Structure 1
Amino acid sequence: MDILLLIQKKLKNVDFPLLVIILLLAGFGLMMIYSSSSTLSYLNYDTTNHFFIKQLQWLLLSIILLLITIFIPYQLYSKFSPFFVLTTIILLVLVILPGIGVERNNSQRWIQLGPLLFQPTELIKLLMLIYFAFFYSKKQDIINQFNRGVLPPLLVLAIVFLLILRQPDLGSAALILFACGIIVLSSGVAWRHLLMLVSVGILSVIYFALSSPYRLERLTSFIDPFRDPVGDGYQLVNSYIAIGTGGITGNGLGRSIQKLGFLPEAHTDFIMAIVVEELGLMGLLFVIGAYIFIMFRGVAIAKACDNMFPKLLAMGITFQIMLQVIFNLGAVSGLLPITGIPLPLISYGGSSTIVTMTSFGILLQISAQANFKPKVSKNQLPEYQF
């Protein structure tokens, strides 16, 4: 009986509007994965629901993990922070070792776990956020001392950045760099230190983007995809075609033309192009609106925290998700280079789905402990009580 009362109390304090939006977005993604992958699934597996079934299995597992993490006190993560750093380095070394790491599409980013492929970088995105939130929450009294209060995690981040580049995966490396930068920004670091770190971070990304012929080709194809529409610009040109034919209401669910073999990665990195083609501007507004709601809710949860560790962790999780959205939608629309970053909860992929839902579970747990509740007045729009 005591356990049931504890569960009831914990769920009572959880931010249910946020949980509902997360589940709605995941369900929408599952629907679009079936629609965008049905042709490819039939051609390769003689069934239209191969990718749908696999994503459904991952989604069910990720929902279980989300519910579990809601009941795990976030304070526990800070205690395991050094272990998370060690795990991060070990995983990144293992993934580039011959015979352990799995190579696909000229990239070695996966580890084989029996019948499953696991992408360690997805887990490392979360582990690095926990480490950064833990360190800077403990160094508030010396946060203006660069060598002692700011620098140590940045050295770890530099190692992680270089190891991920070795895969190679500049998109994920840049994402982790910027997400950890959000935590540094939120921790109260002196502006002179912050400006120096931002400059170094941006220059590092630009340098490594221009230093590799492979990455340089992706950059030039993003600037002018029609220069080589059947080569480097092929994917982006077909994304333009999908988006351009969607209109206001789209061509109808399941009626995409580009998914019939024209648009590569239609159910993964470029799934949003199929969403717009089939559901039009209305589908785009639903997705963007859901992400904006998540962002504002996450920031409000962070502000409601009394302690620095959950505040920084909530900010890190929220803006890492938002950065993934920006990277993905920017690539699909041609506003940013193609990075291979999936769209959270919508793109096909087990590692991404599981880690994203686990991250949301931690955010919901923080909301429960902070007792975050929106204050609603009859004569006013909802306001957040901090």
Structure 2
Amino acid sequence: MKKRLKKFDYGLIAVVLALSVFGTIMIYSSSYTLSTLQYDHGHYFFMRQLVFLVLGLSVFAVMSFISLKTLGKLSPFLIIISIILLFLVLIPGIGVVRNEARRWLAYPFTFQPSEIVKVFMIIYFAHIYAKKQPYIDQFKKGVLPPLLILAFVFYLILQQPDFGTATHILLICGLIIFFSGVKMRHILLLGSIGLSGLFFIMISQPYRLNRITSFMNTFDDPSGDGYQLINSYISIATSGLSGNGLGNSVQKLGYLPEAHTDFIMAVIVEELGLIAVIFVIGSYLFILYRGIRIAKEVDSLYLRLLALGVTFQIIIQAVFNLGAVSGVLPITGIPLPFISYGGTSLVFTLLSAGILVNISGRRREPAINN
């Protein structure tokens, strides 16, 4: 145990803690007005996030020491739990509807199963593709079976509907397949099918197509589809190097929808400026660097795939969110890791980070040059 503790990546731990605490502070700042209007006091969202932060840090600590071998063996059961949860979400009276989407369960408390499923799929794919190495070059036996489960999970999340999270899971699992040593022709085949399928799904529903067109032509409908992004632009444009000061955002006063959730970065930029942007983006780049380095320094393929999976889970999610806030990517409704309001997202992102820290303690000893 002491040997593993010495190997822990304490730089990674420090950055995860810093982002989580920073996010909680910014949730207080960005949600104070909305919290006052809806709940008669400005601390409602902050206190809830604080509870989930404590829970998340507890999970983070537990996952840092748990047996990852046992976790891999349990992954088929985690997939069964995932599918059951996704089915329950779609049942009227059980699944909670918000903004015309059915993405939450309210028993015993309100939570978003797709955030749980995201982590469970990473564990399963890392375990199963490491196990399939003796016949990884055989498409039907080595590559295809887990993809059937991925397709089914993707379909269930799409029914909520939550195209952003479904795509996120697809991309993470695709990267795990790529790093597992699957033949390049199989990768190209799967990539072609996946991209074609995503394109068809994007244009098959009017509301998804509107998101793409509004992202490309934001100012064509400033009071409709372009409203949220335009107000995000205003937040960013009025920031400067150090921003307008903590708590001094104007856009959070009812102008910017989802100011404490999906678009919290716009408030961060408005209040704290370019300095905060450098801190946030620099922190994610540090996690990316550390995650890849940890993956390279373990001998087990399962641990390597798991490390890469949870690393890219965090990074792809951050790219999706920051891209939407800045107008570089369509709005997907995906929260900013460790920072956006949302208990399920925070707890299970910290769970993923705990797994990465756990893996860092299992790195091989560096070679000694004589």
Q: TM-score, normalised by structure 2?
A: 0.97
Residue of structure 2 aligned with 1:35, choices 25, 29, 33:
29
TM-superposed deviation, 1:318: 0.2
Q: Is the 8 A contact 1:15 1:373 kept in 2?
A: no
Structure 2 match to 1:3: none
Structure 2 match to 1:262: 255
Structure 2 match to 1:18: 12
Q: Is the 8 A contact 1:88 1:124 kept in 2?
A: yes
Structure 2 match to 1:130: 123
Q: Is the 8 A contact 1:13 1:371 kept in 2?
A: no
Deviations 1:26-79 (A, max 9, x none): 111011111101111111111111111110000000001110111101111111
**C-alpha distance in structure 1 between counterparts of 2:199 and 2:310, whole Å:** 25
**C-alpha distance in structure 2 between counterparts of 1:121 and 1:244, whole Å:** 34
TM-superposed deviation, 1:102: 0.6
Q: Gaps (5+ residues) in structure 1?
A: 1-5, 376-384
**C-alpha distance in structure 1 between counterparts of 2:223 and 2:191, whole Å:** 37
Residue of structure 2 aligned with 1:90, choices 51, 64, 84:
84
Structure 1 match to 2:345: 352
Residue of structure 2 aligned with 1:364, choices 328, 332, 357:
357
Q: Does 1:208 align with 2:201?
A: yes
The one-letter amino acid of 2:31's match is S
Identical-pair percentage: 55
SS at match of 2:187: helix
Q: TM-score, normalised by structure 1?
A: 0.93
The one-letter amino acid of 2:92's match is P
Change in Cα spacing, 1:246 to 1:96, as seen in structure 2 (3 Å) is: same
Q: Is the 8 A contact 1:65 1:361 kept in 2?
A: yes
SS at match of 2:110: strand
Aligned 1:1-386 pairs, distance under 5 A: 6=1, 8-114=2-108, 116-370=109-363
Change in Cα spacing, 1:109 to 1:374, as seen in structure 2 (3 Å) is: farther
Deviations 1:87-142 (A, max 9, x none): 1111111110111111000000000123x211000000000001110111011121
SS at match of 2:93: coil
The one-letter amino acid of 2:75's match is S
TM-superposed deviation, 1:10: 3.9
SS at match of 2:329: coil
Q: Gaps (5+ residues) in structure 2?
A: none
TM-superposed deviation, 1:372: 7.2
TM-superposed deviation, 1:251: 0.9
Deviation above 3 Å: which 4+ runs of structure 1?
A: 371-375
After superposition, the CA RMSD in angstroms is 1.5
The one-letter amino acid of 1:213's match is P
**C-alpha distance in structure 2 between counterparts of 1:371 and 1:146, whole Å:** 32
**C-alpha distance in structure 2 between counterparts of 1:337 and 1:173, whole Å:** 15
SS at match of 1:117: coil
TM-superposed deviation, 1:9: 4.4
Q: Is the 8 A contact 1:239 1:263 kept in 2?
A: yes
The one-letter amino acid of 1:17's match is G
Deviations 1:213-247 (A, max 9, x none): 11111111111111111111110110010011111
TM-superposed deviation, 1:12: 2.6
The one-letter amino acid of 1:234's match is Y
How many residue pairs align between the two structures? 369
Structure 2 match to 1:382: none
TM-superposed deviation, 1:13: 2.5
**C-alpha distance in structure 2 between counterparts of 1:345 and 1:237, whole Å:** 25
**C-alpha distance in structure 2 between counterparts of 1:270 and 1:26, whole Å:** 16
TM-superposed deviation, 1:313: 0.5
**C-alpha distance in structure 2 between counterparts of 1:129 and 1:331, whole Å:** 24
TM-superposed deviation, 1:11: 2.8
Deviates more, 1:167-176 or 1:68-77: 68-77
Deviations 1:238-266 (A, max 9, x none): 00100111111111111100000000000
Q: Is the 8 A contact 1:37 1:48 kept in 2?
A: yes
Q: Is the 8 A contact 2:299 2:364 kept in 1?
A: no
Deviations 1:186-227 (A, max 9, x none): 001111110111111111111111101111111111111111
Structure 2 match to 1:380: none
The one-letter amino acid of 1:22's match is V
**C-alpha distance in structure 1 between counterparts of 2:234 and 2:357, whole Å:** 39
**C-alpha distance in structure 1 between counterparts of 2:13 and 2:222, whole Å:** 42
TM-superposed deviation, 1:321: 0.7
The one-letter amino acid of 1:324's match is Q
**C-alpha distance in structure 1 between counterparts of 2:16 and 2:40, whole Å:** 32
